[in-house]
Structure 1
């Protein structure tokens, strides 16, 4: 057999009413997502509308004016989207609880290239427009603009943004250690601050006393305030408030795989509001580790004054965690993510995990609400009785009436083992009620994408599929 059924108490039972609490909660969350998307689009529309209301369309009557107007619009839209990017990266609770950090940062990354194109278009169109209007030629116009106050700073901001976008390309960022890449990425704050002065000192659009000036000041201050409060302020406050320390570091079977569980203890941890499936960003305040940020999911439901994470040595930073000493102070950011009850849309659950991806699945299984028979857990393992936290998963499934199925062996072309693929098995065969379930998937990126693709092909709606990313 290519798989092993560990617990048979997951037999099909009657499903709940279609108006279950999970669906009502999912509907409210999706409404919040729609409103956030509409708000982001509205800021772009307002930016263009304010330019047109200031008489921007009147300048399009001649070639130079048309190029200049297009350049200004490109710059306004780019600036607005940069501020949206800052807010997406600020980990604002309203956004975090609606879409989760993975989705927010995914949109943040996707906006990078369009913003860069708009900024370059802004530069080229304005130079061309001014040159046509003045009859001075492109070179002469560049020299003239360079001698204008605040323009060198704006060029510096553009250069910083080019560096940020280029180092964000997958082929490029894989050449850097995470800490180096992250340090370069923080230059986005400098890029925005360098570009701001020329917007307010040049041209009449942001002149003193205009609505446009107040609108852009409010937008900019709001974006940076979100970064200061939620990106830096709240983590510092929570670190000082909860006084988290390492209690113990314990190896996880099978031995020799470089996987350890780290138990942590602190004050009033229930005030964090963390639930199974969520993650924190951890900094272990000891020599060689304090400057490294580690995003790790909880591997057990928080109880009393204790938290637990389970980590695998995948690099120099994570490998050093096995030698962390008890008593080490820990700084934390979070909790983050909606790989949790927050994204439930159905009463049934199918939890699919591989490798160290078992950690958030294990804590979610422990905290999720379901009746006996309504949850199925699929674990890809090396062998039927060998997997990280496998014994704990078995005990949890028996205690809660969930079905645990291990799918051992070498991986086939998709997400299943080669043996399971030869038998023609699929997600639907392992979990017959999957179409009426929420599917949570966590594991290596390529493997997870294969599970997600099969779930979509089976007919699951987007709100039923939840995927935790482990790359950066």
Structure 2
């Protein structure tokens, strides 16, 4: 079940609860590893990937499982900015970290303006979403928009280890151009036991492009679509996207007899 701390506000409340001023001052000035922006990559018109590199010995965030998030603060002329939680979208074990961020507010709308070399304070990893996914033989990942980021971390990690898990990714976007990792997912599907279904809510899918690994459908992800392509009685389900989407999918999965214990969720706007 989704929990309050699975939202960005809940995540911050759990990790950085309200503190007295003296306690907050100590937290703001503590000696933690400082990373630097390595690259800023425009993915779509409103999604940007931020790649940061850390100093030697900053192993905390590197030692993580796919699907976890970190909390970053950007260095400004006035000191360290406010904390912001983002899912790590790169594979585990790499020296740099990648965050794939949708422009949806005052801070996220400035991500593309950040410059390489800018200092970043990075704390983590946090979260339990997908913590057991490597142990599941039959995996169904359901994403709405930028909610695909934890699954990109999973798939990039699995690609690195040549995992043999059976996987299905259903990814809903408004248009095809919003599916920024489409080419990469097709490549991964050729290397792993992965099928990908793209659903488009605001345009018709491209014609004659379906393969046995990559498919396109019009409309939203629903129980009927999942039931056709997933083994409902054996699959472990992971859902990440806007709360309304998650609630609708969980309700429909329940109608098809999927137990709540087989479903994990992570919530944020997508």
Query: 2:42 is matched with which residue?
Result: 251
Structure 2: distance between partners of 1:236 and 1:308:
24
Q: What SS does the corresponding residue of 1:380 show, helix, strand or coil? A: strand
Tell me the alpha carbon deviations over residues 333-363 of structure 1, each in whole angstroms, 9 at most, x when there is no partner: 2111111233666321001111111111111
Once the two structures are TM-superposed, the CA of residue 451 in structure 1 deviates from its matched residue by: 1.7
Distance 1:395 1:236, change over 3 A: farther
Report which of the two structures shows the higher radius of gyration computed on alpha carbons.
Answer: 1
Query: Separation in 1 of the partners of 2:238 and 2:102?
Result: 21
Pair 1:262 & 2:54 matched: no
Asked if 1:274 is matched to 2:174, the reply is no
- Residues 15-414 of structure 1 aligned to structure 2 (within 5 Å): 103=3, 105=5, 186=18, 232=27, 236=30, 239-240=32-33, 243-252=34-43, 254=44, 257-266=45-54, 267-272=56-61, 273-287=63-77, 290-342=80-132, 346-368=136-158, 370-371=163-164, 374-384=166-176, 386-410=178-202
* Cα separation, partners in 2 of 1:288 and 1:302, compared to 1, 3 Å: farther
Secondary structure of 2:247's aligned partner: helix
Instruction: Flag the 1:420–1:329 CA change in 2: closer, same or farther, 3 A.
Output: closer
5+ residue gaps, structure 2, are: 204-216
User: Unaligned regions of 5+ residues in structure 1, if any?
Assistant: 1-98, 110-167, 169-178, 191-226
1:350–1:288 distance in 2 versus 1, CA, 3 Å: farther
Of residues 204, 225, 232 in structure 2, which corresponds to 1:434? 232
Q: What RMSD over aligned residues (CA atoms) do the two structures have, in Å? A: 3.7
User: Which residue of 2 is the match for residue 45 of structure 1?
Assistant: none
Using the size of structure 2 for normalisation, the TM-score is 0.76
Higher helix proportion, which one? 1
Residue correspondences, number = 245
Task: Check 1:341–1:434 CA distance in 2 against 1; reply closer, same or farther (3 A cut).
Answer: farther
Please give the alpha-carbon distance, in whole angstroms, between the structure 1 residues aligned to 2:241 and 2:78.
Answer: 28
Q: Secondary structure at the match of 1:426?
A: helix
**Secondary structure at 1:392 match in 2:** helix
Q: 2 CA distance for matches of 1:385 and 1:451?
A: 24
Query: Which structure's residues are more often strand, by fraction?
Result: 2
Structure 1 residue 105 displacement after superposition: 3.5
Q: Which moved more, 1:448-457 or 1:382-391?
A: 382-391
Distance 1:247 1:410, change over 3 A: same
Once the 2 structures are TM-superposed, how far is the Cα of residue 303 of structure 1 from its aligned partner?
Answer: 4.1
Deviations 1:234-262 (A, max 9, x none): x945x33xx3111010111x3xx221111
